[in-house]
Structure 1
Amino acid sequence: MTTAPSAAKTTAFFQLLHQTPGLDERDNRGKKHAIALVLSGLTCALCAGRDGSLSRLHRHMVNQFAPLCQLTGAAQSRPISRAQLPLLLAKVNLSLFAKLLFEWFGLDLSTLTGQWLAVDGKELRGSIQAGQTRGDACVSVVSQAHETVVGQAYYSGEKESEKLVVRQLLMDKGLLDQRLSLDALHLNPLTVNAIHKASGQYIVGLKANQRLLYRACICRCLLDPPTHYYCSEWERGHGRVEQRSYQCFSLARAVFDARWQAAGFQTLIWVKRNRQPLAGGVITEEISYYLSNRAVVTEADWVEVCGAVRGHWRIETMHYRRDVVLSEDTLRTAMSQVSRVVSCLRTLTMNLLHRLKPKNMAAQLDHFADNFTALLQFMKTEEVL
């Protein structure tokens, strides 16, 4: 069952792409292929599980070219060639395309109030060139409740810092005043200070590389009794059983270094994870620490904070599906722009598939691969075409 399209949409996404000036940065001389048709064809190919190779995506575009043209009313005589496909994608105005993509989703920040959003980056491994250790990377902001991507940005792992890109993304998208969970990389004064100043809430990982802060928090755990405590039952999944214990410590009277004074630290969260393989064996123990500017006063506060700590892994689930279900990391290209444009379309695909709420996403891709008519109907219902 699909979700009704947003009322904010005044046209189908295909028409929006077709009508937006500046999206196509090709020279007007010799244009043969409509950029909206190519991007729509790629989206259909991704929804049919053809990811992992630009050649596979192209073959699907060629095989299903006629019905796609018939539905969209495109007056195109022949599909784009495999050689021309990356050259055209390299001429897509990426920043404008991403803006159109997320505006078309109709994401209203007021609907995110009270939700926790997970922030993390992911390397696009297919973009790593010979002799290099890093390639392009994608930073995403994902709703913990629905696993929907609400914001995205790209950067070069060889030249740029994820911390700067995340901070800029949160500012550009107006997300600094939301509830955000971040990993330890983003325990940075500029980032947490900006969130706190904007009246946002954060939960951010703490590791030993922040030596003085880490030591102060360890001492707090040793000397002060926890204000709240929770221990889960043993839960089975992913080939193991796991038990999680949470403790909360107040930082209201703690004194921190000057660079952390504007961070608004209120709570230290201690988490212990005990795991054992289903086949038996040694029980392993892992302890993690998190800092938050959210004061935990009531039991409801504590339940929400524990849920947000665990819910951060929804973004890892999204990354896993992009890699395993859509084969994102196996799509190799030497052109950074191509990698990023296809990644944007992959985000569109993931968000569209979530609207169907499939029990098995891989099975849904197979269904669309076997029944292109059903895929076109779905795209029409969701106002993509």
Structure 2
Amino acid sequence: MEELLEWMDYIEDIRQEKKVRHKLKDIIVIVLFATLSNVDDWVEMEFFAHYHEEYLKKYIELKNGIPSHDTLCRVFGMLSPEVLQKLYQKWQELLNKDEGKALRKLICIDGKTMRSNKRKEGKPNHILTAWSREDGFSLGQKAVDEKSNEITAIPELLEKIRIKGQVVTIDAMGTQKEIAEKVRKKKGDYVLALKENQKTMYEDVRLFFCDEQEKEQLKKRGAYCKTIEKAHGQIEIREYYQTEQIGWLSQKKEWAGLKSIGMEEKTIKREGEEKKEYRYYISSLKEDEKLFSLAVRGHWSVESMHWHLDVTFKEDANTTLDKQAAENLNIIRKWCISILKMVEIFRPNLSMKKKRFVISMNPEEFLEQVLNF
């Protein structure tokens, strides 16, 4: 933590120096520590800082006392999200500096709307995030006005992050030729969901996997794997099929690096009833049923992160209207998710929500454990 705090001293502060009463470092630390401690809005952050002022002085100066909630919000509205994201990334680099050669990882891209961040005639922030499944960490993000703008924003986000040698997963909104080309140009691989926004190819792939003989051939060839899980009073069976034999696919040449197609067949058994769901994919991966199934199943990690933003951190209830301040809070929450995923406090296997509650009971004790693990 000390190394990260030292690095904060070099963050550029665009405020007029003569008018600055509270260091940018102080404000970032207050917001980060408070958010870890089950605090979700600016007023509560001010209260938290007042109550734990002596503890905070262990890490920050607070030369002019505690900033007001208005100051916290205003400064976060001036802070560049790119700068805060770099600070978050610096923390990740410090954790991984002794990790050695990077393993192949999944980068899951998806967007989430901040529903309470909306003025009367405006639109709320929609944050597109590139989430590393293995690290539980946001590699980068981009704010757009609405979900439909993801198509143009995804290439811009891909440009900002390192994807060489990694596998990028995107839902059907991002299944676009330009996006596939961008991934391949940056020497990454992709697994893209197919839905009716690519109607002809979707139908071709769907019909291929409707052929039971083809599916049996894939099973015999080993281009198939199966998982069975029991959860929430039901049994979930997932079967994954993948094939490189797609010379018949008329659109193949139109998609950069397209090597295979795949399907997830999900069977849900509950109380004597059975339901099936089918999902289809195109990919630049060669036949590797384990990697393909990992990519398909692993995409849930970004959706899980979004769930935590809403349920654990109450993001959709936060009414910060300043879009830049709201985006910066979004980065802080993701940072907290990354931290809390990595630590055990009080007792094993606590949920993230319970971890925040435990920290709130005694921040001086538990923040030390969380920040210096």
- For normalisation by structure 1, the TM-score amounts to 0.85
1:211 is aligned to 199
Residue 265 of structure 2 is aligned to residue 272 of structure 1: yes
- Partners of 2:233 and 2:45 in 1: CA distance: 33
From 110, 122, 138, give the equivalent of 2:112: 122
CA 1:285–1:379 in 2, change beyond 3 Å: closer, same or farther? closer
- Partners of 2:133 and 2:232 in 1: CA distance: 20
CA 1:181–1:75 in 2, change beyond 3 Å: closer, same or farther? closer
SS of 1:83's equivalent in the other structure is: helix
- Partners of 2:52 and 2:269 in 1: CA distance: 48
CA 1:35–1:292 in 2, change beyond 3 Å: closer, same or farther? same
Query: Do 1:48 and 1:365's aligned partners in 2 also have CA atoms closer than 8 Å?
Result: yes
2:277 is aligned to 286
From 60, 63, 69, give the equivalent of 2:48: 60
- Partners of 1:75 and 1:55 in 2: CA distance: 18
SS of 2:63's equivalent in the other structure is: coil
- Partners of 1:75 and 1:125 in 2: CA distance: 34
- Partners of 1:262 and 1:289 in 2: CA distance: 16
Residue identity matched to 2:311: V
Any gaps of 5 or more consecutive residues in structure 1? Answer: 6-10
From 310, 314, 319, give the equivalent of 1:332: 319
SS of 2:17's equivalent in the other structure is: coil
Structure 1 residues 45-93: Cα deviation after superposition (integer angstroms, max 9, x where no partner)? 1111112x32223321222122201x02515232111222211211212
Q: Kindly state the Cα deviation for residue 326 of structure 1 after the two structures are TM-superposed.
A: 1.6
CA 1:61–1:137 in 2, change beyond 3 Å: closer, same or farther? farther
1:311 is aligned to 298
Query: Do 2:126 and 2:144's aligned partners in 1 also have CA atoms closer than 8 Å?
Result: yes
CA 1:114–1:156 in 2, change beyond 3 Å: closer, same or farther? closer
Residue identity matched to 2:250: F
1:342 is aligned to 329
Query: Do 1:187 and 1:206's aligned partners in 2 also have CA atoms closer than 8 Å?
Result: yes
> What is the percentage of aligned positions where both structures have the same residue?
19
Aligned counterparts, 1:145-160, within 5 A: 145-146=134-135, 148-158=136-146
Q: Kindly state the Cα deviation for residue 336 of structure 1 after the two structures are TM-superposed.
A: 0.4
2:86 is aligned to 99
Q: Kindly state the Cα deviation for residue 205 of structure 1 after the two structures are TM-superposed.
A: 0.2
Structure 1 residues 261-297: Cα deviation after superposition (integer angstroms, max 9, x where no partner)? 34222221111222245xx37433211101111111x
Structure 1 residues 238-268: Cα deviation after superposition (integer angstroms, max 9, x where no partner)? 454322222223344134338x534222221
CA 1:160–1:152 in 2, change beyond 3 Å: closer, same or farther? farther
CA 1:265–1:73 in 2, change beyond 3 Å: closer, same or farther? closer
CA 1:50–1:240 in 2, change beyond 3 Å: closer, same or farther? farther
Structure 1 residues 198-239: Cα deviation after superposition (integer angstroms, max 9, x where no partner)? 332111100012111112212332457132333333x22245
- Partners of 2:286 and 2:137 in 1: CA distance: 27
Aligned counterparts, 1:241-252, within 5 A: 241-252=235-246
SS of 1:155's equivalent in the other structure is: strand
Residue 173 of structure 2 is aligned to residue 180 of structure 1: no
Which one has more relative contact order, counting CA pairs under 8 Å at least 6 apart?
Answer: 1
SS of 2:279's equivalent in the other structure is: strand
SS of 2:111's equivalent in the other structure is: strand
Alpha-carbon RMSD across the aligned residues, in angstroms, is 2.5
Query: Do 1:125 and 1:135's aligned partners in 2 also have CA atoms closer than 8 Å?
Result: yes
From 246, 250, 256, give the equivalent of 1:263: 256
Query: Do 1:127 and 1:135's aligned partners in 2 also have CA atoms closer than 8 Å?
Result: yes
- Partners of 2:113 and 2:245 in 1: CA distance: 35
Q: Kindly state the Cα deviation for residue 379 of structure 1 after the two structures are TM-superposed.
A: 5.8
SS of 2:9's equivalent in the other structure is: helix
Q: Which deviates more, 336-345 or 265-274?
A: 265-274
Structure 1 residues 298-324: Cα deviation after superposition (integer angstroms, max 9, x where no partner)? xxx212211221111111111112211
Query: Do 1:221 and 1:249's aligned partners in 2 also have CA atoms closer than 8 Å?
Result: no
Residue identity matched to 1:94: P
SS of 1:121's equivalent in the other structure is: strand
CA 1:179–1:97 in 2, change beyond 3 Å: closer, same or farther? same
Any gaps of 5 or more consecutive residues in structure 2? Answer: none
How many residues align structurally? Answer: 359
- For normalisation by structure 2, the TM-score amounts to 0.87
Query: Do 2:117 and 2:319's aligned partners in 1 also have CA atoms closer than 8 Å?
Result: yes
SS of 2:120's equivalent in the other structure is: coil
CA 1:292–1:372 in 2, change beyond 3 Å: closer, same or farther? same
